[in-house]
Chains A and B, each alone.
Chain A
């Protein structure tokens, strides 16, 4: 992986045999911006063979990487649609007279243990376990029914035959195997599969529940920060994740910019943290918006389990689990927005929740920004780059050109000024292949897949 750190990325090319197609993948066949097509989560599975997206309309679309072929070496395993299904439907809560959104907040894959694939998908209230499996054979030659499925008259059967399996066109089926409902009063923001592969957790604004995959009518409450009097509420849970190797350890972040690491062995209700990570406020940067911009929108363990990465409004921070009083690294995502916080507060952009991801070797981190920009930071060389996910600016198989935002003074030819940024084009969700330099970037209702340049 070394040497490919900030290599040039190219956008995946679609099938060249047919007429030029859209080379961006969209869950919908329409190109219009229907609100239900907005992608709300993106996640590679553990091998990187599959890529799942969830959208505002409750649909899940899974892409599969095609086998690399010696005949077409330039097409290095591109991703094609593998399965599409409706995971969540809008529900109506009669007691509160409100509609529960079907938007998929998070998808998390389970490690593959047999031929089928399993994933968890969640909306605001309900988590579902889906099984995705292939069917490429079907039995033929039943005795008691004919080819159309009609029952045969038993008196007409004169001999017995053994049904045989015959190949059929590949069919991919998605079936809901478990529904974990009615355990969250508040909106679910995170789910995380435990390294024991038997349990997982779901976190809402005030509580975190631990589930066993086999049991749907019970969950254990492991974190509860709801105050006795709601008028004392000043902080909510914003994200949570299990440690990648230690099944008793997890972290959760808060709207006040803090991270708590908890050990489930210490007590059943993890109200007291084992570690508490918080950076002291910089007095020179104090403003009315200090708390809002410190609110952590995403927290991710490194693959090694030694670090955690947090995303707040303006920065990405890397923390060493052994050092609680400050992060070891801080990266500025779009510091030029610091002088615009008031407008961003007015239009609610300041509340946007950006996610962040590690690459497979934990050497590069990536996060999104506005104007369809996304940023990568190389932790070793300290180089960073801004790239853009848009059709106009990246032809298929063309190398992505680095972008630059001009902060004032003379604007160079290729630069874009802060005031020209489009704040409606936000990249909130990105994913990085677990072992290769392949990234998936969700730009509103379009999915871009970039791979590093083949030499």
Chain B
């Protein structure tokens, strides 16, 4: 989502101490540096403060225009404003940089769960458009959630279910061997155990039905 950082050779912007252009008494180059840092810091957020971003970008463009105007006009050899070759490259890269960064923000909306429709059929002779911003609750199934949020997959899928209590499924009661034991136990005390005659070693539907009856019905154990 971030555009490539604009790399500047180290000594490039430090040619002397340029005369400040505004009453704030600071070198234009350092303002430029500060602005670039702000721009990048702003874009590091997934949802940058748009107002801050736009104002900084516009300020950078102003500086760029100023520098280009300086470059276009007559220059004294020792003029502090004279941009070096590095500056020219920088300035041209700047504009496309800002454009790319802002363009990336347009992608933000694609990911957004709900958004007023972009295209709306023109309604009425006057051509008035009415856009309904329909809310769509992000009804993500678990699989969709997993595929889009990579942070969940960091430690493997198993970790997601760590907190679920699986003791119910670990119960030995339900293993085939233990069930026969259960049958024997219930058979000893329930008159209906005769119905299970001949089926002691198999787990079949009648066993399960019987178990359900025991659990749900009024049979005493």
Contacts and interface: CB of A to CB of B under 8 A. Distances in A.
Interface of A: 93-98, 181-183, 185-187, 205-207, 209, 216-221, 224, 229-236, 238, 255, 267-269, 286-289, 291-292, 295, 338-343, 345-346, 348, 351
Given A230-B103, A269-B129, A351-B55, A187 B138 contact: no
B133 A96 contact: no
A182 B137 contact: yes
Contact of A97 (B22, B51, B100, B149): B149
Given A267-B126, A289-B24, A291-B59, A183 B46 contact: no
23 contacts: A94-B148, A94-B149, A96-B108, A96-B111, A97-B46, A97-B151, A183-B114, A185-B112, A220-B132, A221-B133, A224-B131, A231-B99, A231-B103, A234-B57, A236-B50, A287-B21, A288-B31, A291-B55, A340-B24, A341-B23, A342-B22, A345-B24, A348-B38
Given A206-B50, A289-B59, A185 B99 contact: no
Contacts of A229: 103, 106
A206 B118 CA distance: 14
Given A233-B50, A339-B24, 13 more contacts: A97-B46, A182-B136, A186-B50, A217-B134, A220-B131, A221-B116, A221-B133, A234-B54, A236-B51, A288-B62, A289-B22, A342-B22, A351-B55
B23 A287 contact: yes
A255 B31 contact: no
Contacts of B94: none
B145 A94 contact: yes
Contact of A98 (B23, B31, B47): B47
A341 B24 CA distance: 6
Nearest to B28: A288
B50 A205 contact: yes
Given A95-B113, A220-B131, A288-B63, A342 B24 contact: yes
| Interface size class of chain B, counting residues whose CB lies under 8 Å from the partner chain | 35 or more
Contact of B58 (A93, A186, A234, A269): A234
List the 7 closest pairs (A to B, CB-CB), nearest first. Answer: A342-B24, A287-B22, A230-B106, A231-B99, A182-B135, A182-B114, A221-B131
B54 A182 contact: no
B34 interface: yes
Contact of B47 (A187, A292, A346): A187
Given A95-B111, A183-B135, A185-B108, A338 B23 contact: yes
Nearest to B109: A185
Contacts of A232: 102
Contacts of B112: 95-96, 185
Contacts of B105: 230, 233
B21 A288 contact: yes
A206 B58 CA distance: 17
B67 to A, nearest CB: 11
B139 to A, nearest CB: 12
B59 A288 contact: yes
Nearest to B103: A231
A2 to B, nearest CB: 39
A225 to B, nearest CB: 11
A100 B129 CA distance: 31
B128 interface: yes
B26 interface: yes
Contacts of B108: 96, 185
B115 interface: yes
A217 B135 CA distance: 5
Nearest to B106: A230
B212 interface: no
A93 B133 CA distance: 19
B51 A267 contact: no
Contacts of A98: 45-47
Nearest to B124: A268
Given A182-B113, A206-B50, A342-B31, A95 B22 contact: no
Given A185-B115, A187-B47, A345 B63 contact: no
A270 to B, nearest CB: 10
A12 to B, nearest CB: 35
Contact of A235 (B34, B54, B133): B54
Contacts of A346: 34
A238 B51 contact: yes
A276 to B, nearest CB: 19
Given A187-B47, A217-B135, A231-B99, A288 B22 contact: yes
Contacts of B126: 267
B134 A218 contact: yes
A233 B54 contact: yes
B168 interface: no
Nearest to B132: A218
B25 interface: yes
A367 B73 CA distance: 44
